[in-house]
């Protein structure tokens, strides 16, 4: 067992704290009254402005090459799609449904990371994927009234998986804050273009004081701080390991949702059975993979 002072242990603790903050994001998404696309527009605007203020305070150089800027800018489009779909999932269903749907991130990462990195998909990962798919099927079956919200949550997980894999490569060459800053700018620009095309980009909707306060927390603590932390840990942790721990988000989020919303968040027994299967699979996976890794290591030594 590595000590708490090792880079991996420190990053695991940081990631767990970050995931708890992300769990609270679902609560904010439910209580902020504006629609998902405008919610994301404000969120990324507040986030990259606060990051820029941080850079000015620290006198940090934010210059990057044209090639890097283009990569991060277009990755921002994927981030924007992920967030819009996530908040739309919350508004079309419940916080619990959206967060459990998002936990399929593990499934998509298990498939996409080996493909993009030209690695072999292990049998353990295939089995993990099958069990998660079955859990998702159960949720669809027992919560059919939330079909649109579930689909949005699954698509959100798919896009989250893509940018997590991209960022796991980017973090090897540059700081998490710089990556986050340019991706957030990209996300804001792409959301603005989307709003311009779909709605003629009307003047940003007026905010009541409560919405503004929650958006400020969402944009600073839950985005600029948490996003930078989530990207930074990828320097020591694999995208798949990050995805596994990120799946604690629905656990934290569902508990918080019960505390904040009570009966509104109560689901059918079928939903909880499916959620338990998904989360149980996610938590058991690293132990199985660790045992398998030890066997392979032992065989190679022999």
pLDDT tens digits along 77-102? 999 999 999 999 999 988 888 888 88
Decide if pLDDT at 65 tops 70. Answer: yes
Decide if pLDDT at 72 tops 80. Answer: yes
Worst-scoring range by mean pLDDT, 14-23, 77-86, 89-98, 119-128?
119-128
How confident is the model at residue 263, as a pLDDT?
A: 73
How confident is the model at residue 152, as a pLDDT?
A: 94
Phi-psi label, residue 200: left if phi above 0, alpha if psi -120 to 50, beta otherwise: left
How confident is the model at residue 86, as a pLDDT?
A: 93
How confident is the model at residue 169, as a pLDDT?
A: 81
Q: Which residues contact 200 (CB under 8 A, 6 or more apart)?
A: none
Average pLDDT over residues 139-151: 85
Q: Which residues contact 249 (CB under 8 A, 6 or more apart)?
A: 19, 22, 23, 26, 99, 102, 103
Q: Which residue has the tokens 């973090």?
A: 171
Quick one: what percent of the chain has pLDDT higher than 70?
88
Decide if pLDDT at 109 tops 60. Answer: yes
How confident is the model at residue 1, as a pLDDT?
A: 38
Average pLDDT over residues 97-108: 83
Structure-block tokens of residue 44: 């990324």
Mean pLDDT of the chain: 82
Q: What pLDDT band is residue 241 in, cutting at 50, 70 and 90?
A: confident
Worst-scoring range by mean pLDDT, 6-10, 174-178, 210-214?
6-10
Q: Got the DSSP string for the chain?
A: ---TTSHHHHHHHHHHHHHHHHHHHHHHHHH--S-HHHHHHHHHHHHHHHHHHHHHHHT------HHHHHHHHHHHHHHHHHHHHHHHHHHHS-HHHHHHHHTTHHHHHHHHHHHHTT-PPPHHHHHHHHHHHHHHHHHHHH-GGGHHHHHHHHHHHHHHHHHHHHHHHHTTTS-HHHHHHHHHHHHHHHHHHHHHHHH--PSPPP--HHHHHHHHHHHIIIIIIHHHHHHHGGGTS-HHHHHHHHTTHHHHHHHHHHHHHGGGG---HHHHHHHHHHHHHHHHHHHHHHHHHHHHHHHHH-
Decide if pLDDT at 274 tops 90. Answer: no
pLDDT, greater one: 7 or 170: 170
Nearest to 234 by CA among 160, 163, 169: 169
Q: What pLDDT band is residue 59 in, cutting at 50, 70 and 90?
A: confident
pTM of the model: 0.81
pLDDT, greater one: 151 or 268: 151
Decide if pLDDT at 286 tops 90. Answer: no
How many CB atoms neighbour CB 302 within 10 A? 5
| Calpha distance 145→140 (Å, rounded) | 9
Q: What pLDDT band is residue 117 in, cutting at 50, 70 and 90?
A: confident
Phi-psi label, residue 281: left if phi above 0, alpha if psi -120 to 50, beta otherwise: alpha
Worst-scoring range by mean pLDDT, 107-111, 199-203, 266-270, 288-292?
199-203
Average pLDDT over residues 34-56: 91
């Amino acid at each position: 067992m590595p000590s708490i002072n090792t880079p991996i242990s420190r990053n695991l603790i940081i990631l767990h704290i970050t995931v708890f903050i992300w769990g609270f994001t679902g609560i904010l998404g439910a209580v902020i009254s504006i629609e998902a696309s405008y919610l994301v527009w404000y969120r990324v605007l507040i986030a990259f402005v606060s990051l820029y203020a941080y850079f000015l305070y620290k006198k940090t150089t934010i210059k990057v090459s044209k090639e890097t800027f283009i990569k991060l800018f277009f990755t921002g489009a994927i981030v924007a799609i992920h967030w819009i779909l996530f908040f739309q999932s919350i508004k079309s269903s419940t916080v619990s449904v959206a967060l459990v749907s998002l936990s399929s991130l593990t499934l998509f990462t298990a498939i996409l990371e080996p493909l993009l990195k030209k690695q072999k998909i292990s049998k353990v990962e295939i089995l993990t994927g099958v069990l998660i798919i079955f859990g998702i099927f159960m949720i669809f079956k027992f919560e059919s009234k939330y079909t649109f919200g579930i689909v949005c949550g699954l698509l959100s997980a798919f896009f989250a998986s893509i940018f997590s894999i991209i960022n796991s490569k980017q973090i090897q060459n540059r700081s998490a804050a710089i990556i986050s800053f340019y991706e957030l700018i990209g996300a804001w620009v792409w959301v603005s273009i989307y709003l311009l095309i779909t709605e003629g980009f009307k003047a940003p909707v007026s905010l009541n004081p409560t919405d503004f306060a929650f958006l400020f927390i969402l944009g600073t603590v839950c985005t600029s701080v948490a996003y930078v932390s989530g990207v930074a840990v990828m320097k020591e942790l694999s995208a798949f390991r990050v995805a596994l721990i990120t799946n604690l988000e629905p656990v934290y989020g569902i508990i918080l949702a019960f505390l904040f919303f009570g009966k509104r968040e109560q689901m059918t027994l079928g939903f909880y059975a499916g959620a338990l299967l998904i989360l149980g699979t996610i938590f058991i996976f690293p132990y199985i993979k660790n045992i398998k890794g030890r066997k392979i290591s032992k065989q190679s030594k022999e």
